Amino acid sequence: METAYGKSSNAETTETVSGEVISVGKMSFAKGMIYGVYVIVKTDEEKITVHLGPLWFIEDQEIKIQPKDQVEVKCLQIVYQGKPAIIASEVKRGKEILKLRDEDGCPCWNGRGRW
């Protein structure tokens, strides 16, 4: 089943946000769905919640995003369950890049059997 989380690529809804990670958390986006990871990034203007991806995928990456990290996040704005949401396609921390989605918006965890 294709969902907004499964694929999302609309150039009109992409943006880059920069700031400090003030928290990292996990949540289930829907009943019966596995946990996902989100970060709250404090920019110069606001605090933004950005969804990264499934917990198992994020934990499997070498880059570990932590509070107080200065990051630049390429984001996609979507509507999920009738509400606006922001999902990350990549997170830069210094020279390190956490790649989460390809150029077409497809998650890097697709086909890895746990989502």
Q: Considering the domain boundaries, does residue 107 fall inside one?
A: no
Q: Considering the domain boundaries, does residue 5 fall inside one?
A: no
Q: What are phi and psi of 63, to 5 degrees?
A: -80, 125
Q: Considering the domain boundaries, does residue 52 fall inside one?
A: yes
Q: Considering the domain boundaries, does residue 40 fall inside one?
A: yes
Q: Considering the domain boundaries, does residue 44 fall inside one?
A: yes
pLDDT at 11: 44
**What domain count does the chain have?**
1
- Contact, 98 vs 91, CB < 8 A? yes
Beta bridge partners, 77, equal 86
Element (DSSP H or E) covering residue 42:
strand 35-42
Element (DSSP H or E) covering residue 59:
helix 55-59
- The closest of 73, 70, 69, 72 to 53, measured between CA atoms, is 73
Q: Mind listing the pLDDT tens digit of every residue in the chain (115 residues)?
A: 344 445 544 445 789 999 999 999 998 866 777 899 999 999 999 999 999 999 999 999 999 999 999 999 999 988 877 788 899 999 999 999 999 998 888 899 987 655 4
CA atoms within a 13 Å half-sphere pointing along the CA-CB vector of 86: 17
Residue 94's CATH number: 2.40.50.140
| Dist. CA 114–CA 23, nearest whole Å | 25
Q: Considering the domain boundaries, does residue 104 fall inside one?
A: no
Q: Considering the domain boundaries, does residue 111 fall inside one?
A: no
Domain that holds residue 93: 19-99
